[in-house]
């Protein structure tokens, strides 16, 4: 896809998703299906994931496309009838553990859990990593209110026979985590763009002391700081696709988490009173990024893991070249 095609597709997806802010994700899922999301994911995963997740972030839309990204990375054909269990919040641990022929699963899912018949789970076991398919009926799924009640998140607890366990290479799970991290980082980047846009508009319209607050250097510098963070995040996402691998994906996701905090804090301060209310849309974006930041590991755990890895190797890899 060239730049013009990408831009056109982005516009199409944005128009199609505008206003679809339901917690169940059914409306947005239908729109994405209509647009050929799964075909795009198969044929041009980079453009598909970049555009769809950026737009989900920008428009604060709930969909269940993340399931398809992770399921594909696990080596399975995605389907509307299949969901995947994500690692427990703020970790990248295996959601499943197989012992004595039984699988015990603790983790998160998106909104799709309410309308599927099967659930796929990556599990650790004494004989290595295994992929298990369990009936959705076996799952105890509790919709999470949490910080983002509209986000469609569910806490999952499953005890089931580990029938049909398929051994998978460790690299498969590492790739699935990397794929999930890239997608979530795009979504956070999209949300950050909108938060900045909302704060920027407010700063040019809100008048105090006889002038728009955008004229005050303290306000301008906060918005500048937010833009630096967003643009840096977008650059790490380009790097994560140009040199795909667990480390560039981890760096993009951790950058996304940190950027969300920077942008959230500065924009909320600029929005001041109105940003503290639910009358203004800002709160939805802020809450969504707070929730997304914990998927596939928190910013703190990813940063700590990266630091440990560098210390173990006693070197600092440059990862990307000109």
Partner 1 sequence: MHIADFRAKLNAWLDAHHAELAAPFAPPGTLDQRVAQMQRMKSVLFEADWMRYGWPEHVGGLGGSPMLRTELGAALAGRDLADPGLFSLIEVLAPTLIDFARPELAAEVVPRLLSGAEIWCQGFSEPGTGSDLSSLSCRAEPDGDPDTASTWRINGQKVWTSLAQYAERCVLLTRTGPADSRHRGITAFFVDMDTPGITVAPIEMINGMHEFAEVFFDDVVVPADRMLGELNGGWSVAMSILPYERSSCFWQRIAYLYRRLEMIVEVAPDDDRAAEVIGNAFLHLHMLRSRSRVTQHRLADGATLGAETSIDKVLVATGDHIVYDAARRLLPGIVEMDDSDAGEMWRTEYLYSRAATIYGGTAEVQRNIIARRLLDLGTDA
Chain residues binding partner 1 by CB under 8 A are: 200, 203-204, 212, 214-217, 220-221, 223-225, 227-228, 231-233, 235-236, 238-239, 248, 251, 254-255, 258, 300, 302-308, 310-312, 314-316, 318-322
Closer residue to partner 1, CB minimum distance, 112 or 186: 186
- Read off the tokens for 303: 């940063």
Shortest Å, Cβ 243 to partner 1:
10
- Read off the tokens for 8: 């056109």
- What separation in angstroms does the CA of 289 have from each of 147, 175, 193, 253, 305? 10, 23, 12, 12, 21
Taking Cα atoms as reference points, which of 293, 228, 223, 301 lies closest to residue 256?
293
CA-to-CA distance for 189 and 263, rounded, in angstroms? 10
Shortest Å, Cβ 300 to partner 1:
8
Closer residue to partner 1, CB minimum distance, 144 or 320: 320
CA-to-CA distance for 245 and 179, rounded, in angstroms? 9
Classified as helix, coil or strand, 83 is strand
Angle of CA points 152, 12, 293, to nearest 5°: 35
Shortest Å, Cβ 196 to partner 1:
8
Closer residue to partner 1, CB minimum distance, 32 or 302: 302
Shortest Å, Cβ 286 to partner 1:
20
CA-to-CA distance for 181 and 254, rounded, in angstroms? 9
Angle of CA points 108, 63, 190, to nearest 5°: 100
Q: How many CB atoms lie within 10 A of CB 165?
A: 20
Closer residue to partner 1, CB minimum distance, 127 or 311: 311
* Cβ proximity of 30 and 64 under 8 Å: no
Q: How many CB atoms lie within 10 A of CB 220?
A: 14
Taking Cα atoms as reference points, which of 191, 311, 309 lies closest to residue 248?
309
Closer residue to partner 1, CB minimum distance, 5 or 205: 205
Shortest Å, Cβ 211 to partner 1:
10
Closer residue to partner 1, CB minimum distance, 220 or 280: 220
Q: How many CB atoms lie within 10 A of CB 208?
A: 11
Shortest Å, Cβ 298 to partner 1:
12
Closer residue to partner 1, CB minimum distance, 159 or 308: 308
Shortest Å, Cβ 252 to partner 1:
9
CA-to-CA distance for 295 and 259, rounded, in angstroms? 15
Closer residue to partner 1, CB minimum distance, 90 or 320: 320
Shortest Å, Cβ 291 to partner 1:
21
CA-to-CA distance for 314 and 299, rounded, in angstroms? 22
């Amino acid at each position: 896809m060239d730049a013009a095609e990408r831009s056109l597709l982005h516009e199409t997806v944005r128009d199609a998703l505008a206003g679809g802010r339901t917690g169940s994700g059914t409306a947005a899922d239908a729109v994405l299906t209509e647009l050929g999301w799964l075909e795009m994911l198969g044929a041009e995963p980079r453009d598909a994931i970049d555009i769809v997740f950026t737009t989900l972030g920008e428009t604060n839309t709930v969909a269940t496309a993340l399931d398809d990204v992770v399921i594909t990375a696990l080596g399975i054909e995605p389907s509307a009838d299949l969901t995947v269990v994500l690692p427990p919040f703020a970790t990248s641990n295996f959601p499943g553990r197989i012992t004595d022929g039984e699988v015990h699963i603790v983790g998160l899912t998106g909104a799709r859990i309410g309308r599927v018949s099967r659930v796929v789970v990556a599990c650790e076991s004494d004989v290595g990593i295994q992929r298990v398919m369990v009936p959705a009926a076996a799952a105890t799924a509790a919709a999470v209110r949490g910080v983002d009640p509209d986000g469609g998140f569910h806490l999952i607890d499953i005890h089931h026979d580990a029938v049909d366990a398929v051994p998978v290479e460790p690299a498969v799970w590492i790739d699935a985590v990397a794929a999930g991290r890239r997608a979530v980082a795009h979504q956070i980047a999209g949300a950050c763009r909108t938060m900045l846009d909302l704060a920027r508009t407010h700063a040019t319209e809100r008048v105090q002391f006889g002038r728009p607050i955008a004229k005050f250097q303290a306000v301008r510098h906060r918005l500048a700081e937010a833009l630096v963070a967003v643009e840096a995040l977008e650059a790490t996402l380009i790097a994560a696709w140009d040199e795909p691998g667990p480390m560039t994906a981890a760096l993009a996701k951790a950058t996304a988490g940190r950027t969300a905090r920077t942008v959230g804090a500065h924009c909320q301060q600029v929005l001041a009173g109105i940003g503290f209310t639910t009358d203004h849309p800002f709160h939805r974006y802020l809450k969504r990024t707070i929730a997304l930041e914990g998927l596939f590991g928190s910013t703190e755990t990813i940063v700590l893991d990266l630091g440990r890895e560098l210390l173990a190797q006693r070197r600092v890899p440059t990862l990307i070249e000109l």
